[in-house]
Structure 1
Amino acid sequence: MSKQLPVVVHVESIGEVLFRSDQRCKRLSIRLKPLEGVQVLFPPGYSIQSAIEFVHQKKEWVIQTRRKMEERESGFTIFDEHTPFRSRSFCLKIEKSERSDVRLFLYNGVLKVLYPAHLPVTNGPIQEAIRYGIEEALRREAKRFLPFRLQVLARQFQFCYRAVFIKNLKSRWGSCSNVNNINLNLHLMRLPDHLIDYVLIHELCHTIEKNHGAAFWKLVDRCTSGKARELDGEMKQYRTRIY
């Protein structure tokens, strides 16, 4: 049996849809991912015409789901050669290259991304590779810096905690468990130093005060020279995810 090549078909009210066979597929499925559009996957040997009819049957669902996806896409940063990005220890540099894949290098304070010259940098998989590279570089940086800085602040303000974990948290900069394990978001490395310290102090205060009551904010105020609310307001300028 000859291999089925991907086919792009214009579907009314939806636009271009990519149809492709995948040996891992057990059944027909529709996939929508940010920056990649609408794709239909089906087992080898499946009729493309039947796949197109399936999309027509699911048209309303596709339109609604794509609308939600487009709302997410509107908040995405599209990284290119001119996008400024810097953490505490590295900056981002994106370059075209005569190659067939995306390569990432982190050396001497630069995260270099080389992508195929025959593809636009806005290509979905290229953007995903850039984000992956940034997050892995941030993870390394966070593991080197955050546990040590947390220890310094804990000693300075006389807090005790059990363990610290670096994670890629979706909606929080940090958290403190009931047994005083502290989780810190690797994206903290994108913040100014004084805000990194604020988040660490915030979580250290939770080792004593488990909620956000008056006693908690009084404690945070004592550790931040009365700037707790000011720093908390400043944090709202930043997001926990790279979009």
Structure 2
Amino acid sequence: MPFFTVGDSQIPYDLKRSDRATRARLTVTPNAVEVVVPVSATEEDIAAMLHRRRGWLVEQTQSMREQAAKANRVQRFVTGAKIPYRGRLMRLRVEPSDDTLVEVTYRNGFLIGCPRSVSEASRDVLIESALRLWLRKRLREDVAEMVKRHGETWELKPKGVQIKDQKHLWGSCGQDRVVNLNWHLIFAPKTVLEYAVVHELCHLRHRNHGKAFWSLVGSILPDWASRKAWLDRNEHFLNLERVEV
């Protein structure tokens, strides 16, 4: 993997050449730095672009490290652990059960019924899997209700809705009029999820982020700016990660 040197720091990055790229594009995420360039770009072109963006690159990688340090991490899915849900950290309670499957319920916190037959070595993996399935199902239900309500009121009806694990996006709306939403939005307050849903629905009418687009968003959600600001500030909160001990 190539790397770019800034002072005493070496920043590794993934380099991709694309037939579709007309200019260089630099993306920084918590897990990687990605550089996409046109096929015709020379090594000198790439080095010059990285040199021009070196200040921004250092600032963004530092910001991502800080966000990663704040991310929600769970070592064990046991009673007392806390799981993010709708903008809050909710307590987990695990109880033995005589069922054959892990059961998840929510009553001011997560109640996990874990079969007595499950081995200690498998317990965390099975509970995590059951939690993820429960959270994704709840998100689908929330999104379906919001799409129906706003879609019918404002005549913004997508061809379909998909819940995905998107790395760089909270949502998208394709030319096929299918709305995609990141399942990690279940960790945000419901009002923030509603903003993400409305944002993508508005792209059914306006494909860009021009004045007409934001005017439509504002007609549906007058306080959209505060909801968007929460999403921008709290990206680190919107995950569920188990740390191997």
TM-score category of the 2 structures, normalised to the smaller one: 0.5 to 0.7
1:105 to 1:166, Cα distance in 2 relative to 1, 3 A: same
Unaligned runs of 5+ in 2: 1-66
SS at 1:93 equivalent: strand
Query: Aligned residue for 2:79?
Result: 81
Superposition deviation, residue 135 in structure 1:
1.1
Can you give the 5+ residue segments of structure 1 that lack an aligned partner in the other structure?
A: 1-70
Distance 2:126 2:68 in 1: 18
Partner of 2:94: 95
Match of 1:228 among 212, 224, 228: 224
* Cα offset, 1:153, TM superposition: 1.1
User: Does residue 177 in structure 1 map to residue 174 in structure 2?
Assistant: yes
Match of 2:141 in 1: 144
Superposition deviation, residue 218 in structure 1: 2.4
Contact 1:167 1:186 survives alignment (8 Å): yes
Where do 4+ consecutive residues of structure 1 move more than 6 Å? 71-74, 115-118
Shift of 1:207: 0.8
> Are the counterparts in 2 of residues 81 and 93 from structure 1 also a CA contact under 8 Å?
yes
Alignment RMSD: 3.6
Identity over aligned pairs, percent: 20
Residue pairs, 1:28-39, within 5 angstroms: none
Give the stretch that moved more between structures: 229-238 or 166-175. Answer: 166-175
* Matching residue's letter, 1:235: L
**CA pair 149-76 structure 1, distance change in 2 beyond 3 A:** closer
Instruction: Give the C-alpha shift of residue 171 in structure 1.
Output: 3.3
- With a CA cutoff of 8 Å and minimum separation of 6, indicate the structure with the bigger relative contact order: 2
Q: Which amino acid aligns with 1:95?
A: V
After TM superposition, the score normalised by the length of structure 1 is 0.54
Match of 1:167 in 2: 164
Aligned to 2:240: 242
What's the CA shift string for 1:172-206, capped at 9, x where partnerless?
A: 22211112101123332222221121111101011
Whole-angstrom distance in 1 between the partners of 2:68 and 2:184:
19
Given that 2:94 and 2:112 are in contact with CA atoms closer than 8 Å, whether structure 1 keeps it comes out as yes
Report the residue type matching 1:112 in the other structure.
I
**Partners of 1:105 and 1:113 within 8 A in 2:** yes
Q: When the two structures are superposed, what TM-score results if normalisation uses the length of structure 2? A: 0.54
Number of corresponding residues: 164
